[in-house]
Amino acid sequence: MVEVNLWSGLRKFTDGAEVVEVEGRTVGQLLDGLVAIHPGLAPVIESGISVAVDGEVITGGRNTPVEPDSEVFLMQQIKGG
């Protein structure tokens, strides 16, 4: 299981939880797992987010591997100039 840290504004979709434990070996599996546990997160994830794995901000990299002790954060999607 991997601990996924959410931003606090998402608590309303997760019964108040800011950290959700999810089964998965890739970022994509974690995101799918999150939606399976808390379907209210689906529109948030579909509208675009960034994910940080062990300090690396990943945009779109669903196949990025994660380890059980990886530090995973959901973040606002970042656009650059």
Partner 1 sequence: MAKDEITKDFKWIGTTPDRPDGLDKVTGRARYGADFNLPNMLYAAVVRSPHAHAKILKIDASKALALKGVKAVVTRADLPTGLTGEDLYLQENTLAGEKALYDGHAVAAVAATSQLLANDAARLIEVEYEVLPHVTDVDKAMAKDAPVILPDCADHTVPEGMGPNVARMIEFGRGDLEAGYAEADVVHEQSYTTEATHQGYIEPHAAVGQMGSDGKGEMWVCTQGQWFIRKMCSAVLGTDPAQLRVTPSEIGGGFGGKTTIFMEPLPLALSRKAGGRPVKLVMSRSDVLRATGPTASASMDVKMGMKKDGTITAAEVTFRMQGGPFPGASPVGEALSCAFACYDIPNLMHVGYEVLANRPKCAAYRAPGSPMAAYAVESMVDELCRELSLDPIDVRLKNGVKEGSRASYGPKFKTIGLAETLEAAKAHPNYAVKLGPNQGRGVASGFWFNHGGETSVSLAISEDGTAQVSVGTPDIGGSRASIALMTAETLGIPYENVRVNIVETGALGVNEPTHGSRATFASGKAMWEAANQAIKEMCKRAAQKWDIDPEAVTWKDGAAHPAGDNAGQFEPMSIKEIAAEMGKTGGPISGHHESTPSGAGPSFGTHVVDVEVDPETGRVTVLRYLVTQDAGRAIHPQYVEGQYQGGAAQGIGWALNEGYIYGEDGKLQNSVFLDYRVPVASDLPMIDTVIVEVPNPGHPFGVRGVGETGITPPLPAIANAIHAATGARLRALPMNPPAVLAAIKAMA
Q: How many residues bind partner 1 (CB under 8 A)?
A: 27
Which tokens sit at 56?
């690396």
Specify the residue, 23 or 76, whose C-beta has the smaller distance to partner 1.
76
Q: Using the rule CB under 8 A, which residue among 26, 33, 55, 67 binds partner 1? A: 55
Among the listed residues 25, 36, 34, the one whose alpha carbon sits nearest the alpha carbon of residue 62: 25
Report if residue 47 touches partner 1, rule: CB under 8 A. yes
CB of 1 to partner 1, least distance (A): 19
Is the Cβ–Cβ distance between 74 and 13 less than 8 Å? Answer: no
